[in-house]
Amino acid sequence: MFTGIIEAVGKVAKITPTGKDISLTIDSQGLDLSDVKLGDSIATNGVCLTVTSLGPRSYSADLSVETLKLTSFADASVGSSVNLEKAMQASTRFGGHIVSGHVDGVGEIISRQELGRAIEFWVKCPPALAKYVAHKGSITVDGISLTVNEVNGAEFKLTIVPHTSDETTITRFVAGTKVNLEVDVIARYLERLLQGDSAAEKASSGVTMSLLAESGFLK
Protein backbone atom coordinates (compact mmCIF):
# COMPACT_ATOMS: atom_id res chain seq x y z
CA MET A 1 0.00 0.00 0.00
CA PHE A 2 1.21 3.50 -0.88
CA THR A 3 0.12 7.10 -0.36
CA GLY A 4 1.13 8.76 -3.63
CA ILE A 5 3.60 11.05 -1.85
CA ILE A 6 6.79 10.67 -3.88
CA GLU A 7 9.99 10.09 -1.90
CA ALA A 8 12.56 10.40 -4.69
CA VAL A 9 13.07 10.49 -8.44
CA GLY A 10 15.17 7.65 -9.87
CA LYS A 11 16.25 6.56 -13.34
CA VAL A 12 15.88 3.42 -15.44
CA ALA A 13 19.44 2.05 -15.45
CA LYS A 14 18.93 -1.20 -17.36
CA ILE A 15 16.22 -3.06 -19.28
CA THR A 16 16.69 -6.80 -19.71
CA PRO A 17 14.27 -8.71 -21.99
CA THR A 18 13.26 -12.09 -20.56
CA GLY A 19 11.12 -13.63 -23.27
CA LYS A 20 7.94 -11.57 -23.48
CA ASP A 21 8.61 -10.06 -20.05
CA ILE A 22 11.33 -7.63 -18.98
CA SER A 23 13.47 -7.02 -15.92
CA LEU A 24 14.10 -3.41 -14.92
CA THR A 25 17.01 -2.10 -12.90
CA ILE A 26 16.31 1.24 -11.25
CA ASP A 27 18.99 3.65 -10.05
CA SER A 28 17.24 4.79 -6.86
CA GLN A 29 19.17 8.09 -6.65
CA GLY A 30 18.02 9.74 -3.40
CA LEU A 31 15.77 6.92 -2.16
CA ASP A 32 17.12 5.30 1.02
CA LEU A 33 17.18 1.54 0.45
CA SER A 34 18.73 0.63 3.82
CA ASP A 35 15.42 -0.73 5.13
CA VAL A 36 14.39 -2.48 1.89
CA LYS A 37 14.58 -6.28 1.62
CA LEU A 38 14.17 -8.71 -1.27
CA GLY A 39 10.45 -9.18 -1.89
CA ASP A 40 9.52 -5.69 -0.69
CA SER A 41 7.38 -3.44 -2.88
CA ILE A 42 8.42 -0.10 -4.37
CA ALA A 43 5.99 2.00 -6.40
CA THR A 44 7.85 2.94 -9.58
CA ASN A 45 5.94 5.53 -11.62
CA GLY A 46 2.89 4.29 -9.75
CA VAL A 47 3.46 0.61 -10.53
CA CYS A 48 3.86 -1.69 -7.53
CA LEU A 49 7.06 -3.63 -8.28
CA THR A 50 8.56 -6.44 -6.21
CA VAL A 51 12.28 -6.12 -5.52
CA THR A 52 14.12 -9.17 -6.93
CA SER A 53 17.68 -7.94 -6.42
CA LEU A 54 19.14 -5.10 -4.43
CA GLY A 55 22.27 -2.96 -4.59
CA PRO A 56 23.51 -0.06 -2.46
CA ARG A 57 21.53 2.43 -4.54
CA SER A 58 19.62 0.32 -7.05
CA TYR A 59 17.03 -2.43 -7.26
CA SER A 60 15.68 -4.74 -9.94
CA ALA A 61 12.15 -5.99 -10.55
CA ASP A 62 10.38 -8.19 -13.09
CA LEU A 63 7.51 -6.83 -15.20
CA SER A 64 5.01 -9.30 -16.63
CA VAL A 65 3.20 -9.11 -19.94
CA GLU A 66 0.10 -7.89 -18.07
CA THR A 67 2.06 -5.05 -16.46
CA LEU A 68 3.57 -4.02 -19.78
CA LYS A 69 0.13 -4.09 -21.40
CA LEU A 70 -1.44 -1.79 -18.82
CA THR A 71 1.38 0.67 -18.12
CA SER A 72 3.73 3.09 -19.85
CA PHE A 73 6.64 0.74 -19.13
CA ALA A 74 5.90 -0.84 -22.50
CA ASP A 75 7.78 2.17 -23.91
CA ALA A 76 10.41 2.45 -21.17
CA SER A 77 13.94 3.48 -22.13
CA VAL A 78 17.24 3.59 -20.28
CA GLY A 79 17.72 6.99 -18.67
CA SER A 80 14.01 7.67 -18.17
CA SER A 81 13.15 9.35 -14.88
CA VAL A 82 10.69 7.57 -12.56
CA ASN A 83 8.84 8.53 -9.38
CA LEU A 84 9.68 6.31 -6.40
CA GLU A 85 7.82 5.51 -3.19
CA LYS A 86 8.46 2.69 -0.75
CA ALA A 87 5.48 0.84 0.70
CA MET A 88 3.97 2.71 3.65
CA GLN A 89 4.38 1.54 7.23
CA ALA A 90 1.72 1.56 9.94
CA SER A 91 3.54 4.46 11.62
CA THR A 92 3.76 6.55 8.42
CA ARG A 93 1.80 9.80 8.18
CA PHE A 94 -0.93 9.33 5.55
CA GLY A 95 -0.34 12.41 3.41
CA GLY A 96 -1.94 11.41 0.10
CA HIS A 97 -4.71 8.88 -0.54
CA ILE A 98 -4.99 5.08 -0.71
CA VAL A 99 -2.81 3.92 -3.61
CA SER A 100 -2.45 0.22 -4.42
CA GLY A 101 0.13 0.48 -7.18
CA HIS A 102 -2.19 -1.47 -9.50
CA VAL A 103 -2.37 0.73 -12.58
CA ASP A 104 -5.75 0.90 -14.33
CA GLY A 105 -4.57 2.27 -17.65
CA VAL A 106 -2.41 4.73 -19.54
CA GLY A 107 -3.48 8.33 -20.02
CA GLU A 108 -2.01 11.09 -22.16
CA ILE A 109 -1.09 14.69 -21.39
CA ILE A 110 -2.98 16.81 -23.92
CA SER A 111 -1.99 20.31 -22.81
CA ARG A 112 0.30 22.18 -20.44
CA GLN A 113 0.02 25.80 -19.33
CA GLU A 114 2.14 27.82 -16.91
CA LEU A 115 -0.06 29.72 -14.42
CA GLY A 116 2.19 31.89 -12.27
CA ARG A 117 4.28 29.42 -10.26
CA ALA A 118 1.84 26.58 -10.89
CA ILE A 119 1.41 24.34 -13.94
CA GLU A 120 -1.98 23.35 -15.31
CA PHE A 121 -2.29 20.06 -17.18
CA TRP A 122 -5.20 18.52 -19.04
CA VAL A 123 -5.03 14.73 -19.17
CA LYS A 124 -7.05 12.33 -21.32
CA CYS A 125 -7.86 8.99 -19.71
CA PRO A 126 -9.13 5.79 -21.37
CA PRO A 127 -12.93 6.05 -21.84
CA ALA A 128 -13.51 3.06 -19.52
CA LEU A 129 -11.91 4.98 -16.62
CA ALA A 130 -13.78 8.26 -17.09
CA LYS A 131 -16.62 7.24 -14.76
CA TYR A 132 -14.17 6.94 -11.86
CA VAL A 133 -12.70 10.45 -12.25
CA ALA A 134 -14.58 13.04 -10.17
CA HIS A 135 -14.25 16.77 -9.61
CA LYS A 136 -12.15 17.30 -6.44
CA GLY A 137 -11.57 13.56 -6.25
CA SER A 138 -8.17 11.87 -6.04
CA ILE A 139 -6.25 10.22 -8.86
CA THR A 140 -2.75 8.79 -9.12
CA VAL A 141 -0.65 9.93 -12.08
CA ASP A 142 2.72 8.16 -12.46
CA GLY A 143 2.51 7.38 -8.75
CA ILE A 144 1.70 10.94 -7.65
CA SER A 145 -1.40 11.53 -5.52
CA LEU A 146 -3.21 14.45 -7.18
CA THR A 147 -6.55 16.26 -6.96
CA VAL A 148 -8.81 16.53 -10.01
CA ASN A 149 -9.76 20.20 -10.45
CA GLU A 150 -12.10 19.90 -13.43
CA VAL A 151 -13.62 17.14 -15.55
CA ASN A 152 -14.78 17.26 -19.16
CA GLY A 153 -15.79 13.84 -20.48
CA ALA A 154 -12.71 11.62 -20.48
CA GLU A 155 -10.44 14.61 -19.86
CA PHE A 156 -9.51 16.10 -16.50
CA LYS A 157 -7.49 19.04 -15.24
CA LEU A 158 -4.65 19.06 -12.71
CA THR A 159 -3.10 22.14 -11.12
CA ILE A 160 0.42 21.40 -9.90
CA VAL A 161 2.03 23.48 -7.15
CA PRO A 162 5.81 24.19 -7.22
CA HIS A 163 6.69 21.67 -4.50
CA THR A 164 5.15 18.80 -6.47
CA SER A 165 6.95 19.95 -9.62
CA ASP A 166 10.26 20.09 -7.76
CA GLU A 167 9.96 16.67 -6.11
CA THR A 168 8.55 14.55 -8.97
CA THR A 169 8.88 13.94 -12.70
CA ILE A 170 5.75 15.94 -13.46
CA THR A 171 7.72 19.02 -14.52
CA ARG A 172 8.92 16.95 -17.52
CA PHE A 173 5.38 16.29 -18.76
CA VAL A 174 4.49 17.82 -22.14
CA ALA A 175 1.64 17.27 -24.58
CA GLY A 176 1.84 13.67 -25.76
CA THR A 177 3.50 12.27 -22.61
CA LYS A 178 1.98 8.91 -21.63
CA VAL A 179 1.26 8.49 -17.91
CA ASN A 180 0.16 5.64 -15.64
CA LEU A 181 -3.25 6.20 -14.07
CA GLU A 182 -4.76 4.60 -10.99
CA VAL A 183 -8.27 5.67 -10.06
CA ASP A 184 -9.53 5.95 -6.50
CA VAL A 185 -9.85 2.42 -5.11
CA ILE A 186 -13.01 3.42 -3.20
CA ALA A 187 -14.79 4.17 -6.50
CA ARG A 188 -13.89 0.73 -7.84
CA TYR A 189 -15.21 -1.05 -4.74
CA LEU A 190 -18.36 1.07 -4.69
CA GLU A 191 -19.14 0.04 -8.26
CA ARG A 192 -18.79 -3.62 -7.34
CA LEU A 193 -20.86 -3.28 -4.17
CA LEU A 194 -23.70 -1.61 -6.07
CA GLN A 195 -24.03 -4.75 -8.17
CA GLY A 196 -25.21 -6.58 -5.04
CA ASP A 197 -25.98 -10.28 -5.41
CA SER A 198 -25.90 -10.00 -9.20
CA ALA A 199 -22.11 -9.64 -9.01
CA ALA A 200 -21.87 -13.39 -8.40
CA GLU A 201 -24.33 -14.34 -11.14
CA LYS A 202 -23.15 -12.63 -14.31
CA ALA A 203 -20.64 -10.25 -15.78
CA SER A 204 -21.71 -6.66 -15.23
CA SER A 205 -21.26 -3.73 -17.59
CA GLY A 206 -20.78 -1.45 -14.59
CA VAL A 207 -22.89 1.19 -12.88
CA THR A 208 -26.02 2.16 -14.83
CA MET A 209 -28.79 4.66 -14.13
CA SER A 210 -31.20 1.82 -13.37
CA LEU A 211 -28.74 0.26 -10.92
CA LEU A 212 -28.30 3.60 -9.13
CA ALA A 213 -32.09 3.99 -8.92
CA GLU A 214 -32.56 0.47 -7.55
CA SER A 215 -29.88 1.17 -4.92
CA GLY A 216 -31.64 4.33 -3.74
CA PHE A 217 -29.15 6.85 -5.15
CA LEU A 218 -31.71 8.39 -7.52
CA LYS A 219 -35.24 9.62 -6.80
Structure confidence by residue, pLDDT tens digits, 36-46: 999 999 999 99
- DSSP bridge partners of 22: 17, 63
- 76 DSSP assignment: -
Class of domain 8-86: mainly beta
> Which helix (DSSP H) or strand (DSSP E) does residue 3 occupy?
none
Helix, strand, coil percent values for the chain (each to nearest 5): 20, 40, 40
CA–CA gap between residue 150 and residue 36 (Å, rounded): 38
pLDDT, one tens digit per residue, over 108-138 is 999 999 999 999 999 999 999 999 999 999 9
